[in-house]
Structure 1
Amino acid sequence: MTKLAIIYYSATGHGTEMAKVAAAAGQAAGAEVRVRHVAETADPSTFAENPAWTANYEATKDLPAATGDDIVWADAVILGAPTRYSTPAAPYQTFINGLGGLWAEGKLANKVYAAWTSSQTLHGGQETTLQQMYQQVMHFGGIIAAPGYTDGLKFVDGNPYGVGHVTGANNTDELSDATKNALEHMTKRVVDIATKLNS
């Protein structure tokens, strides 16, 4: 059975919802799925006045946090992080920066990777964020399986690099059907490719 790790950082909960969609798609594709959130690095007092951030923190803080061992365990990895000024959010970057030992041992290589992101506005750094996430995967020696335009639904969501969710000016927009469909397609494709490589 192909092992899929879904490793993501979410502040206000959109990434958490995206992880749930991807996990269900991975299970439907026949994979053994492990979902791990990247631990929050900000002190809760700094976002106490943001109800969505506080709610997501409370809902996930006691769940297993991502470690490098989750990548080592996996055949395929789907990464997720919101964009901050066209780069992955700091907690995600901190997690990646902590993988140096495993990278040096080659333990992050030869796995299939894809990614998602989110931003408040369309084109709010999503493409550059995904590209930077993939540049990191290149350093790992990973196999990038960006979705491209491999299905008609990708012409609806319009993101060949991965999947991008637009949260809206008030950061409250729920996942659209197009985003959910794109996540499901990308996840199935990642599992299919990893399964073929490992057969």
Structure 2
Amino acid sequence: MKTLVLYYSTYGHIETLATAIAEGVKQVEGAEVVIKRVPELMPKEVAKQAGAKLDQDAPIATVDELPEYDAIIIGTPTRYGRMASQMANFLDQTGGLWFQNALVGKVGSVFTSTASQHGGQETTLVSTIVNLMHLGMTIVGTPYTEKRLTNIDEVMGGTPYGSSTIAGGDGSRQPSDDEIEIAKSQGRHVAQVAMAIKKGTA
């Protein structure tokens, strides 16, 4: 069972969650995971001036490779309550796969990052899920068996629609230990569901 963690990360927060999600996938016996990212649309000089993290290890994904995976977990920061244009641009190129029903029945899941607690985490996650449903994917979230979702002792991310983090207005806040663990839980749960579907036991 092969999983793709596909992400776009401007400042590294989504990249960190992607790594945690991949760790969760690896905890499931027989599950393989690949981390890739979508292309940056900003010119390099503009990205540098914006303080973007350009030295990310993950290779660039192609649309044509998506059918190779049993599960695809998509990570994108929030832009005005929706996915970043870099991820939208990539998903907009999947029309051929949609026409061929190439992703129907694959497992899909999402994760995000926002500057503030109420900066659009849930709207970004749910609106990204809509794209995956149009492609015929089976949506898997982060169930409340992950007890950290009910933690109210601190301001933090984490939703039943997918894992998340809060970056702060200046991007200085990094994913907390609880947010990392929720991301691992999501990766593990997605892999378990995808494995069950592949084996025909779901």
How far residue 158 of structure 1 moved from its aligned partner, in angstroms, is 4.8
* Map of 1:103 onto structure 2: 98
> 1: CA distance between counterparts of 2:110 and 2:158?
15
Q: CA RMSD in A?
A: 1.3
- Output one character per residue of 1:139-168: Cα deviation in whole Å (capped at 9) or x when no partner: 011000111323212212551111111001
Query: Contact 1:5–1:70 at 8 Å: present in 2 too?
Result: no
* TM-score for both structures, normalised by structure 1: 0.92
| Letter matched to residue 55 of structure 2 | E
* Map of 2:154 onto structure 1: none
* Map of 1:180 onto structure 2: 180
Q: Of the candidates 88, 91, 101, which is equivalent to residue 86 of structure 2?
A: 91
* Map of 1:23 onto structure 2: 22
Instruction: List alignment gaps of at least 5 residues for structure 2.
Output: 152-156
Runs of 4+ in structure 1 off by over 6 angstroms are none
What are the equivalent positions in structure 2 for 1:32-111 lying under 5 Å apart? 32-51=32-51, 53=52, 56-60=53-57, 63-111=58-106
* TM-score for both structures, normalised by structure 2: 0.91
How far residue 47 of structure 1 moved from its aligned partner, in angstroms, is 2.6
Partner-residue secondary structure (3-state), 1:83: strand
> 1: CA distance between counterparts of 2:34 and 2:64?
11
| Letter matched to residue 18 of structure 1 | L
Identity %: 31
| Letter matched to residue 70 of structure 1 | E
How far residue 128 of structure 1 moved from its aligned partner, in angstroms, is 0.5
Query: Contact 2:4–2:36 at 8 Å: present in 1 too?
Result: yes
Query: Contact 2:24–2:186 at 8 Å: present in 1 too?
Result: no
Aligned residue pairs, count: 193
- Output one character per residue of 1:79-130: Cα deviation in whole Å (capped at 9) or x when no partner: 0000000010000000000111011100111011111000100020110000
> 2: CA distance between counterparts of 1:148 and 1:28?
17
